């Protein structure tokens, strides 16, 4: 894999924040953390790219053509928004579509509003949990959208997939919160479809990357996880890593449970918004 950004973690004494988000998202966070005085190392544990399956790619292209006919589209992340709409141009069908757009958190909502402006779709069509929600996920999105779900309404779930995974049907979707929301919609008679706008892949680590990661383990260092899949990918890329005594910050209780099971501790929990992560970090210790 390409050399991780951020340079070596230092002399081993200075606390380091390890960002495990995909590269394009990690870079934005890294800049914000460095502005606040933190030493940062980016070690992306999820890589993204176009779907490798011709079947999945064909389903995605069809969804890109059909989306104005859906009553609602749920995007599971900002990456899903970017990849789905990168090949969609403004059209009369887009501007006249009555569809609503569901986002589980503020980052996805911001990306949706940006894209919809380009397509000529009003930004007030975006539904998301309120800014003061206890968490940003499907469960906290549901109260905002449940009145839209009636028998016969068509919902498209736009998400990422994994190599070899088919996501053309709702039953193929994985993820506890997402499955829960799909069940709520189906129980009310909604017709749910899904497509993968991009493919998530585990990183390919070499010995130099593992050595870099090794230098970021131990007391004082903190790994930031925004996906349970990232924790699983770390275990796959580095089966013998020992995270005992290494702190982690997770952006959801389910992710925190995965980090603890992998050996990290202590594990703190924050809402996934960047500002909330900064506050959580600085409430535990200040940068040095």
Claim to verify: residue 142 and residue 159 sit in the same structural domain: yes
Claim to verify: residue 68 and residue 149 sit in the same structural domain: yes
Judged on CB neighbours under 10 Å (0-12, 13-18, 19+), 11 is: exposed
Claim to verify: residue 182 and residue 229 sit in the same structural domain: no
For residue 141, give both structure tokens: 């999105």
**Residue 62, in any domain of the structure:** yes
Beta bridge partners of 195: 158
Claim to verify: residue 237 and residue 142 sit in the same structural domain: no
Q: Looking at the chain, how many residues does it have?
A: 288
**Residue 3, in any domain of the structure:** no
Claim to verify: residue 139 and residue 223 sit in the same structural domain: no
Claim to verify: residue 70 and residue 195 sit in the same structural domain: yes
Claim to verify: residue 233 and residue 264 sit in the same structural domain: yes
Supply the DSSP string of 15-64, one letter for each residue.
-EEEE-S-HHHHHHHHHHHHHTT-EEEE--S-EEES---HHHHHHHHHHH
End-of-domain residue from the set 168, 183, 201: 201
What total of structural domains would you count in the chain? 2
Claim to verify: residue 88 and residue 107 sit in the same structural domain: yes
Q: Predicted confidence band at 241 (pLDDT cuts at 50, 70, 90)?
A: confident
* Torsion-angle region of 81 (φ positive above 0: left; ψ -120 to 50: alpha; else: beta): alpha
**Residue 11, in any domain of the structure:** no
Residue 102: phi, psi to the nearest 5?
-100, 135
End-of-domain residue from the set 150, 182, 201: 201
Claim to verify: residue 166 and residue 217 sit in the same structural domain: no
**Residue 78, in any domain of the structure:** yes
**Residue 4, in any domain of the structure:** no
Residue 278 near residue 249, CB atoms below 8 Å? no
For residue 113, give both structure tokens: 């509003």
**Residue 7, in any domain of the structure:** no
Q: What integer pLDDT is reported at residue 24 of this predicted model?
A: 78
Q: What integer pLDDT is reported at residue 288 of this predicted model?
A: 43
Residue 242: give the domain boundaries. Answer: 16-46+203-284
Q: What integer pLDDT is reported at residue 166 of this predicted model?
A: 55
Q: What integer pLDDT is reported at residue 112 of this predicted model?
A: 95
d(CA 173, CA 228): 15
- 80 vs 165, higher pLDDT: 80
Q: What integer pLDDT is reported at residue 49 of this predicted model?
A: 86
Q: What integer pLDDT is reported at residue 266 of this predicted model?
A: 94
- For range 24-43, the mean pLDDT: 90
Q: Is the pTM of this model over 0.95?
A: no
**Residue 5, in any domain of the structure:** no
Judged on CB neighbours under 10 Å (0-12, 13-18, 19+), 122 is: exposed
Beta bridge partners of 266: none
- 65 vs 172, higher pLDDT: 65
Q: Predicted confidence band at 7 (pLDDT cuts at 50, 70, 90)?
A: very low
Q: How many CB atoms lie within 10 A of CB 151?
A: 8
Claim to verify: residue 208 and residue 258 sit in the same structural domain: yes
For residue 68, give both structure tokens: 């104005």
Q: Say which CATH number the domain at 113 has.
A: 3.40.50.10090
- The predicted-structure confidence for 183-236, as pLDDT tens digits, reads as follows 999 999 999 999 999 998 888 888 899 999 999 999 889 999 999 999 999 998
Claim to verify: residue 89 and residue 164 sit in the same structural domain: yes
Claim to verify: residue 40 and residue 80 sit in the same structural domain: no
d(CA 251, CA 77): 14
Residue 123: phi, psi to the nearest 5?
-70, -20
Across 77-174, where does the E strand assignment appear?
100-102, 126-127, 154-161
- The predicted-structure confidence for 82-135, as pLDDT tens digits, reads as follows 999 998 988 888 888 899 999 998 889 999 999 999 999 999 999 999 988 887
Instruction: Look at residue 178 and tell me whether its pLDDT is greater than 80.
Output: no
Single out the residue of 43, 33, 90, 47 nearest to residue 67, CA to CA.
90
Q: Mean pLDDT for the chain?
A: 86
End-of-domain residue from the set 137, 168, 201: 201
d(CA 147, CA 223): 39
């Amino acid at each position: 894999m390409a050399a991780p950004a951020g340079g070596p973690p230092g002399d081993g004494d200075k606390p380091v924040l390890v960002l495990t988000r995909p590269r394009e998202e990690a870079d934005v966070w890294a800049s914000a953390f460095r502005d606040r005085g933190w030493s940062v190392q980016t070690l992306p544990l999820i890589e993204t790219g176009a779907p490798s399956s011709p079947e999945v790619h064909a389903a995605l292209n069809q969804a890109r053509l059909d989306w104005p006919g859906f009553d609602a589209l749920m995007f599971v992340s900002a990456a899903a928004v970017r990849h789905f709409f990168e090949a969609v141009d403004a059209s009369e069908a887009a501007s006249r579509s009555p569809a609503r757009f569901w986002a589980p958190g503020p980052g996805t909502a911001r990306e949706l509003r940006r894209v919809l402006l380009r397509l000529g779709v009003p930004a007030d069509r975006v539904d998301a949990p309120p800014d003061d929600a206890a968490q940003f996920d499907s469960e906290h999105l549901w109260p905002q959208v449940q009145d839209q779900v009636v028998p016969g309404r068509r919902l498209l779930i736009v998400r990422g997939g994994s190599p070899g995974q088919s996501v053309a049907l709702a039953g193929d979707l994985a993820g506890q919160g997402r499955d829960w929301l799909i069940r709520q919609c189906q129980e009310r008679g909604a017709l749910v479809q899904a497509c993968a706008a991009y493919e998530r892949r585990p990183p390919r680590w070499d010995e130099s990357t593992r050595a870099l990661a090794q230098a970021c383990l131990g007391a004082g260092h903190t790994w930031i996880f925004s996906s349970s899949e990232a924790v699983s990918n770390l275990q796959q890329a580095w089966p013998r890593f020992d995270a005992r005594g290494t702190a982690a910050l997770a952006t959801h209780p389910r992710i925190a449970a995965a980090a603890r099971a992998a050996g990290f501790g202590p594990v703190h929990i924050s809402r996934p918004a960047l500002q909330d992560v900064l506050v959580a970090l600085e409430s535990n210790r200040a940068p040095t």
